[in-house]
Structure 1
Amino acid sequence: MREQKELQFAFIEANAKDYPVTDLVELTDVSRAGYYKWKNRGGGSMQANQDEQLYSYLWKLHQEHRGTLGRKRMKIALKETYDIQAGEMRVARIMRQYGLRCKIRQKRYMKRHDSHHKVANILDRNFHAEKPGCKFAIDITYLPVQQGVNKFLYLCAIKDLFHDEVVAYALGPRQDMALVYEVLEGLKEKTFVKGAILHSDQGTQFTNAGYQMRVQEMGLTPSMSRRGNCWDNACIENFFSHAKCEMACFFEDAKTASEVQYAITEYIHYYNHKRIHTKLQTNPVHFIERWEGQWGTRGTAKATA
């Protein structure tokens, strides 16, 4: 009987951070007062031991999956691999307590205020452009940093869809509006058609009213993917995919923020000037030079913003 009560007290202790003690007591045969007496006698140490035992399994799974498991998939892996049933909130609490962080960027759902607006999907997956400077795509991705205070660097880039050149980019420790505005300043130095399309996803930086106003002031036409549809912005997502995969082949020892920054800068130069693109049958810079030699810069105008 005493052992049964100990188990019930331990059950309440294990879930007390996630649910009200009053609700948990109703699921057992013990009283609220009895639980607190047990806890004051040091009974919580049993739960600490159980957490420590569970942590050993979480750590093994964390290592096996190279830190890519969040609480949801970690719970499933516990059951699948070790036949251990644990609540998602308990798994999350122990992972947080012992510093087991998922390395994969988590989706962040933010409430959109009135200052955030969607615009039409003008591009509508028509990634073909008749000439340079008439269709662009913009997006933000993250680059992991193994050493240092910042665990990630964020890369914001703009790509010309005519010849796939990354025409402007910026790196920073935060994915904020300053990063996006820096990229737009870089685009101002390029040549583009008045009213050219600048396509993005529905990230909060791009639904921001300030961003949309800045784009229109530059003489560009904003376009936006449908919500939750990554294929609408695949034209620049493929650049990020190539960069993350191929950069490691050139700079496998890049670990600090400065090393990662140098690596992505050098890779973008390689991507524009040397990397063979199947669609172009050459690199973007050579392709545009060859095109301009044949057709000139007819129909383009220097940005006036």
Structure 2
Amino acid sequence: MSKKTFSEQDIEILSKNKYVKNVSEKSITYTNEFKIHFIAEYNNKKLPRNIFEEAGFDINIIGLKRIKCASSRWRTAYKENGVLGLDDTRRKNSGRPRQRELTKDELIAKQNAEIEYLKAEVELLKKLELHERQVRKGKLVATKAFTLIERITKDSKFNSLVSHLCSIAGVSRSGYYRFLNNKSIKIKQANIDLSVRDNILKAFNYKGYKKGSRSIKMLLENEFGITYNRKRIQRIMRKYNIVCPIRKANPYRRMAKATKEHRVVPNLLNRNFKQEVAGKVLLTDITYLPYGNNQMAYLSTIKDASTNEILAHNLSNNITLDIAIDTIHKLMNNTKFKLHKDAFIHSDQGAHYTSPRFQKLLKSKNLGQSMSRRGNCWDNAPQESFFGHMKDEINYRSCTTFEELKGIIDNYINYYNNYRYQWNLKRLTPVKYRNQLLAA
């Protein structure tokens, strides 16, 4: 051993090194971690001096002779007893020494343990390379070290190997097990999310029409008997990019201020749409449906404002007065419901609805009439809303023939009335809500 002694300043400098367990005036005790690291680096053909320098030791303070002695002692101990021979035995072997020699099986078990420890050590050092030092300096994310340790110890039968590798990598053992626990929780949650996603997709594509989170929640509860929180549905839709078509605002539409009441028919409704009386407030309007090769169709509908049910609809290639007249006839010939005795038709001030022929027809059917104020679409907002949702949910522009378009419209209105659950209808479909009102 070197006879060189350390000054107080030398002792202070050496004490700050992570690889020093204890230092006195005449001796220095290194950590087992550094001894194992030294053996691994030495086997990689590195010089002892270089290994000490890379570990942050000042060669002038330690002295080359002390490094040479430590190197020889550690290599001899490792050659005779493996990794366990590098342990500091001054504290561990303070009791009564072993009285018997190890049996053959005990020697084999000891050697196997030493071999596995060394293999794991070398593999971790090899994988970390420069990262191993970065872990100590706090530059490497701990989860990367945890991942490497998990791979190395995956098939190991030695529980203490984890503690050993955590010490080498400069991470905590409790942090490693917390990492494993969180990983299993995330995997479990991902599997649950996949199951929820499959159920949401069933509702999302139900009857071939895409839906938003509200419609999905109501449909799952009423048709599949599955209850999910709406925020959960929204989270899953965002996670798996399940997008509901959203109607864009028309930038060219301008709201005109109403300055006077209509002269022909007054506005009897005054936006009192929800009167909770089925078959009383009947909204009507006509919308344009371009399709095929620059072709145009026109859809006239009558909607119950209280239940949102489409009571009658008429699709035509012409926008003559007959489209509105035929819609009224279809309404009166529909035997699936009964109109209220005070039922009235509310519309805008279009030429169809101000026509004397149309107004005469309403009187003959004992139907009242109301009109929106001029240029104010909000007075007939529920009817406008239906057209907007319908155009979002069907691909009418791809139709090539009038018959194909008519089939799509008929199917959608049947779906809208009987299967499209609506949040503001107590999460019921229009038909179910109408039946509930009539039964009350």
Corresponding letter in the other structure for 1:135: V
Deviation at 1:257, TM superposition (A): 2.0
Structure 1: segments with no counterpart, 5+ residues: 1-103, 108-115, 296-305
In the other structure, the counterpart of 1:238 is 385
Separation in 2 of the partners of 1:274 and 1:232?
A: 27
1:128 and 2:295 equivalent? Answer: no
Deviation at 1:140, TM superposition (A): 0.3
Corresponding letter in the other structure for 2:314: A
Note the 1:153-172 alignment, pairs <5 A.
153-172=297-316
Deviation at 1:253, TM superposition (A): 4.1
The alpha-carbon distance between structure 1 residues 261 and 156, as it changes in their structure 2 partners (threshold 3 A), is: same
**Deviation string for 1:50-69 (max 9, x for gaps)?**
xxxxxxxxxxxxxxxxxxxx
| Cα-Cα RMSD | 2.2
In the other structure, the counterpart of 1:291 is 437
Separation in 2 of the partners of 1:130 and 1:272?
A: 17
Deviation at 1:259, TM superposition (A): 1.5
Separation in 2 of the partners of 1:233 and 1:265?
A: 23
In the other structure, the counterpart of 1:118 is 264
Separation in 1 of the partners of 2:304 and 2:429?
A: 13
In the other structure, the counterpart of 1:262 is 407
2:419 aligned residue (256, 274, 285): 274
Deviation at 1:214, TM superposition (A): 0.8
Deviation at 1:189, TM superposition (A): 2.6
In the other structure, the counterpart of 1:181 is 325
Separation in 2 of the partners of 1:237 and 1:118?
A: 22
Structure 2: segments with no counterpart, 5+ residues: 1-249, 254-261
The alpha-carbon distance between structure 1 residues 258 and 247, as it changes in their structure 2 partners (threshold 3 A), is: same
Deviation at 1:256, TM superposition (A): 2.6
Separation in 1 of the partners of 2:276 and 2:403?
A: 38
1:223 and 2:223 equivalent? Answer: no
**Deviation string for 1:78-125 (max 9, x for gaps)?**
xxxxxxxxxxxxxxxxxxxxxxxxxx9x99xxxxxxxx9720000011
In the other structure, the counterpart of 2:13 is none
Contact 1:135 1:197 in 2 (8 A): yes
- 4+ runs of 1 displaced by more than 3 Å? none
Separation in 2 of the partners of 1:253 and 1:199?
A: 32
Contact 1:123 1:197 in 2 (8 A): no
Give aligned-pair identity as a percent: 37
Q: Which has a greater percent of helix?
A: 2
In the other structure, the counterpart of 1:26 is none
Query: 3-state DSSP class of the match of 1:192?
Result: coil
- Structure ranking higher on relative contact order (CA contacts 8 Å, 6+ apart): 1
Separation in 1 of the partners of 2:314 and 2:286?
A: 10
Deviation at 1:255, TM superposition (A): 3.2
Query: 3-state DSSP class of the match of 2:424?
Result: coil
Deviation at 1:291, TM superposition (A): 3.2
Corresponding letter in the other structure for 1:229: N
1:200 and 2:347 equivalent? Answer: yes
Aligned residue pairs, count? 178
Separation in 2 of the partners of 1:202 and 1:214?
A: 17
Separation in 2 of the partners of 1:178 and 1:196?
A: 22
Query: 3-state DSSP class of the match of 1:182?
Result: helix
In the other structure, the counterpart of 2:283 is 137
Deviation at 1:162, TM superposition (A): 1.4
Corresponding letter in the other structure for 1:266: N
1:152 aligned residue (282, 296, 300): 296
Separation in 1 of the partners of 2:280 and 2:397?
A: 36
In the other structure, the counterpart of 2:67 is none
TM-score, length of structure 1 as denominator length: 0.55
Contact 1:117 1:207 in 2 (8 A): no
In the other structure, the counterpart of 2:257 is none
Deviation at 1:215, TM superposition (A): 0.9
